[in-house]
């Protein structure tokens, strides 16, 4: 439709539009390429050693715990385990 409207001027207009789009796209890709290079350089640094935490469970008197009990203790201090009675009320 545009080619019919502008006649012999259309190839020149088309070329100009294409040229401007190529410049815009190339500048955006250059910016993205620079960002990518900066990120890859930043990731090449070696990570710092992680802090070693104490074990959650310290069994000094050597009381034998079952796997279920050890799992419960390793969940942390805020984890609460209460057994329900048969009637549904807490003790």
Is there a contact between 75 and 57 (Cβ–Cβ < 8 Å)? no
Report pTM: 0.39
pLDDT per residue as tens digits for the range 10-22: 788 889 999 999 9
Q: If DSSP states are collapsed to H, E and C, what string results for the chain?
A: CHHHHHHHHHHHHHHHHHHHHHHHHHHHHHHHHHHHHHHHHHHCCCCCCCCCCCCCCCCCCCCCCCHHHHHHHHCCCCCCCCCCCCCCCCC
pLDDT per residue as tens digits for the range 44-83: 766 677 777 777 667 677 788 888 888 877 777 766 666 6
Provide the pLDDT for residue 87.
61
């Amino acid at each position: 439709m545009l080619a019919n409207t502008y006649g012999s001027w259309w190839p020149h207009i088309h070329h100009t539009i294409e040229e401007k789009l190529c410049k815009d796209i190339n500048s955006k890709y250059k910016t993205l390429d620079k960002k990518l290079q900066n990120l890859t350089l930043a990731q090449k640094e070696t990570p710092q050693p992680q802090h070693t935490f104490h074990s959650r469970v310290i069994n000094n008197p050597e009381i034998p715990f079952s796997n279920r009990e050890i799992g419960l203790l390793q969940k942390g201090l805020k984890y609460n385990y209460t057994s329900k009675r048969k009637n549904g009320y807490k003790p």
